[in-house]
Amino acid sequence: MGRSNVGKSSLIRRLTGLRVRVGKRPGVTRRTRRYRLDGLEVVDLPGFGFMSGVPRGIQERIKTQLIRYLESHSKRIGVAIEVIDARSFPEIVERWERRAQIPVDVEFFHFLKDLRLDPIIAVNKIDLIYPDERDDLLDFICERMDMLPPWRQWLDVVAPVSARTGEGIAHLRRLIEKRLRKKKMEHLMRVFRKRSG
Ligand SMILES: Nc1nc2c(ncn2[C@@H]2O[C@H](COP(=O)(O)OP(=O)(O)O)[C@@H](O)[C@H]2O)c(=O)[nH]1
Ligand SMILES: [Mg+2]
């Protein structure tokens, strides 16, 4: 799950090799897309938050639907991954904070934790960040998600990745595997080994 255009579909494609539809315009995946794979279902959830051209009422409805979906499926969810866009996250967070509101990304992360889903944060599009700026950015992201920096303390939760270049995908796979193992679902891990990268 994640905001629209952060690369959710691209990541699913990279992790599974599935021919997932990737959008050029935000808001392409407004419907939930399910991919059944060897007894595991990979679910590409609709993007939440602001989407240009999408009325506010619809954005609110998507958010409500996501909350309901997660609540009613929490027992069956093996791994929950929240994807954020490395480059746009700081700006989005600051915009919400100026209005003294909690960013919806942060809100959803806490919600996933409350549901005991042990969520992973995939910080996608890391290829767009200069290498020497990454640590500061990842510290910032952790801090906003209520995890004390330095970010490397949170390698069990945070995975900087690029669906485009494949960077960080191996680490993300390990985090997924760990959660599946904990839930005795490790046999389903083969789904995520279909592609190297
Ligand atoms: N530079 C870069 N672009 C990416 C990456 N992942 C996705 N994109 C691009 O971001 C846009 C949105 O991707 P998509 O997977 O459709 O996002 P979704 O709306 O969250 O499913 C597309 O133009 C992708 O090519 C990445 O890791 N790096
Ligand atoms: Mg999509």
50 three-class SS:
coil
CA angle 160, 119, 6 (to 5 degrees): 50
Closest ligand 1 atom number to CA of residue 10 = 15
**Residue 113: exposed, middle, or buried by beta-carbon count in 10 A (0-12, 13-18, 19+)?**
middle
Q: What share of residues in the chain are helix, strand, coil (percent, to 5)?
A: 50, 15, 40
Looking at the domain that runs over 8-190, which CATH code has it been given?
3.40.50.300
31 three-class SS:
coil
The response to whether residue 164 sits with its C-beta less than 6 Å from ligand 1 reads yes
For the segment 108-127, what is each residue's pLDDT rounded down to a tens digit?
999 999 999 999 999 999 99
What is the phi/psi pair of residue 119, to 5°?
-65, 150
Rounded distance from Cα 5 to ligand 1 centre (Å): 6
> Which whole number is the average pLDDT over 84-94?
96
Which two structure tokens, joined as six digits, stand for 151? 């970010």
CA distance 140 to 135: 9
Q: Answer whether 0.85 is exceeded by the pTM.
A: yes
For the segment 22-53, what is each residue's pLDDT rounded down to a tens digit?
766 654 556 788 998 878 899 999 888 877 77
Residues by chain with Cβ below 5 Å of ion ligand 2: 8-9, 29
